[in-house]
Structure 1
């Protein structure tokens, strides 16, 4: 079977490195090693600890680790993650805060399906929970989905979002982060044509490639350098025998991770070297800054081949969203049909993944939307991660997004009251 052996080879290499790390840690931790004046044994144990942890995280889904939130009453309220809509390729989950009245702001946070789990947005969720009811798209790892469940491409992704929006109702405020921004825009336009009453109240697009050609980055250039045939040969493999999705064609998480790491190889190498030194000196901790970041960063998931290839072909190469030519089930999805949903775009001036200009292009596509329902924010000095989970998000962008939501909620309530009169 095409590339099944390659998939299993990558997993074997990962497993071997995890074993080597565990072995080095065990050997370097024997008490007798303390008799050696040379720090070699401590360094070997430190290398083993960091290596074992790193390679083990690559196949583990991180936990949300959001257990409590402080309410207006000053008390800690327990948080549970409840599945509202269960689907083969992804669920809609609700972060239910027990013992607290339902918050007026309802947020649908659309997580990327671009190599990492939805838990990449953990800090984003935690920052919104005190003031909002938060729902998140929790996409599944393609390696664990049996072939019998069928395909999942960009159109299926769009229809998943449509179903999630219908479930939540028209008082929803959708926030799409990075990769799903153009698809969330298309899902909103789909509802504008098919079921206008089910559209979200507001739509915030953060660092998404609405028009990848508006500002070139290494990501968009990579897509343009390769033909679809070359990309399929280089990136697509079949899930190996270890997982439930055996035989499914995927873009493997481990292959994606190697691409992520190579983009900033020097900084990653230095980060791991410094962590090994800290472990050897006894200065590291289980949940220190390094481990918190890399436990999430190294946890990667496979994408279905059809979703990855159709996204590259239609969003990046064909520019179907940017040129308002996107179709679902053969029917044109006209973004100009969005007339009632307030749309805000957020970009970072130092974003090297989705550069400034790519996301704000959404506002020009919303030709049926009045200018007072459009907004844009360019965050100075912010990179890609910072605009949705870093200091820029916490200090500047989050308050602006909530103000945007509240301003349009007030407008909606005023219109509703006028209609009732």
Structure 2
């Protein structure tokens, strides 16, 4: 069964759902299947968007996360005949079930992967963008390496004793929960992420199976399956990042993205072929976010607005599609007025506290550091603008042809494709 929706023109924004119809509800659903306690997590997927299988029927769950496989991007690829394996699953073969879910806010890798790892919304886990302001560490931090935005390395270089991402988040991962309940977990992910702070935090509690090339994924999945006896329950978590790179550099509807989707489809077909049949394995294919098309004409560089930067404690943090402003004392009204008068055609300015109250970052039980991490004002693009600040980071400011992080449907809607093997 499939309820993916090949929508027409994009006309509205999509708010994240945390009550059963969003990405954040997958972890508790997986816990239910494995009969693992999910207390403190967002609730499981609603009954109307998940297959009706008894926990006793499933012994192994394979979660295959295709970074940036947004719903609209997938549908375009299926229409072009790029992904016959995915097309067959979407059509309902192998007891397949397909639905659409919302991503989280921001609709980006760091918040979404952390939500999938913990079952907590971004407002609770507190990892709120590629660059997040951590007062505990001293300021703007590139989360993936847990290091200062403006220089290479991590805050802990040289033996400095600083809080880890685990400390800054303060939650158990799904792998730790499964392990405490006697369920083994494995993570199949790139070798180049081994030992990095973000990856170490995400897969805490899992056995890490690194690969140098995505072609190795099926063999590593098979090795993980063979490592467990038939009586044991097992969670295998696969992370596949190439689609995101293709969408950023070439565009979400480019030939290069289509080729990357076709390569993913081949890998999925091989995964299906190596898993022993018998109906005891659930394969769940998910994505963390989609992409919206953009280009150089839609690049908004804060470095071109020194008057605005002079009112801020530091350059904006967050993502290219959502900016958090940490403002000098007494200057909030001046910043709001500047953005409204000078940039209002491209950007919306919102009091951060209003967005928190609206539930955009998740329901109550927020992280105690949330307010400090998102600042006083939040900027959202009205269209497909990307927000940068030349000179704020350590690398060049490149123009992306695809981006994500805000609330447009292309960014927010993601598929959940499941089947039993």
TM-score range normalised by the length of the shorter chain: under 0.3
TM-score normalised per structure 1? 0.28
Q: Tell me which of the two structures has the higher relative contact order, counting C-alpha pairs closer than 8 angstroms and 6 or more residues apart.
A: 2
Higher helix share: 1
Greater C-alpha radius of gyration:
1
TM-score by length of 2: 0.28
